[in-house]
Amino acid sequence: MTLTKSKYYFEALDNYPYSLPDCLEALNYALSYDPEDADSLCLMGRIYSEMLDDYEKAKLYFEEAMQCDVTNLNTPKYYIKCLLDNENFQEAEKLINYSLKIKGIDRSTLWFYRALLSEMRGSLPNALKFLTEAEKFCFTPQSLDFMKSRKKFIKSKMPKKSKKKKETR
């Protein structure tokens, strides 16, 4: 990252999501200095995904960011969230499996997204299994509390087992 490009990227990041016009101006400057900067492309993808709900345009930016730097630690988590929001479940699953192999990535978040994917598909027992896996990679009390509360929430969605006994004649 050049110093000027870094300056504009951090300015854009600082303004996101509170001042989108300032964020976009700085981000366009950063991309003009280096159109292949994965972090800048990822932030542009986040704007389209999180603010504008234009998932197709966001996917283009995320894909480009992944092509420019396949080991970027930021891009996969935001790209996966975009895919889940757009119900591209197969693509999200492939990206999660790939991302788990990236050294240094936040595995807790990836396992959480895997649980969310299972929940969205209607497989609540699998979601609980993946949240248990996510707990193994929680290294702050806040993230562990979040995973535990999410497990409690999913358990509350599961149908209650009835304790009826079969009558025999």
Give the model confidence (pLDDT) of 70-97 as tens digits.
Answer: 999 999 999 999 999 999 999 999 999 9
Q: Please give the share of the chain, as a percent, with pLDDT higher than 90.
A: 89
Q: Is pLDDT of 169 > 80?
A: no
Burial of residue 157 (number of CB atoms within 10 Å: 0-12, 13-18, 19+): exposed
In angstroms, the CA 146 to CA 109 distance is 11
pLDDT, tens only, 128-154: 999 999 999 999 999 999 999 999 999
| pLDDT at residue 41 greater than cutoff 70 | yes
Tell me the CA distances in angstroms from 40 to 9, 34, 54, one per residue in order: 6, 9, 17
pTM across the whole model? 0.89
Whole-number average pLDDT of the chain: 93
pLDDT of residue 108 exceeding 60: yes
Q: Residue written as tokens 């995904």?
A: 49
pLDDT-derived band at 65 (thresholds 50, 70, 90) equals very high
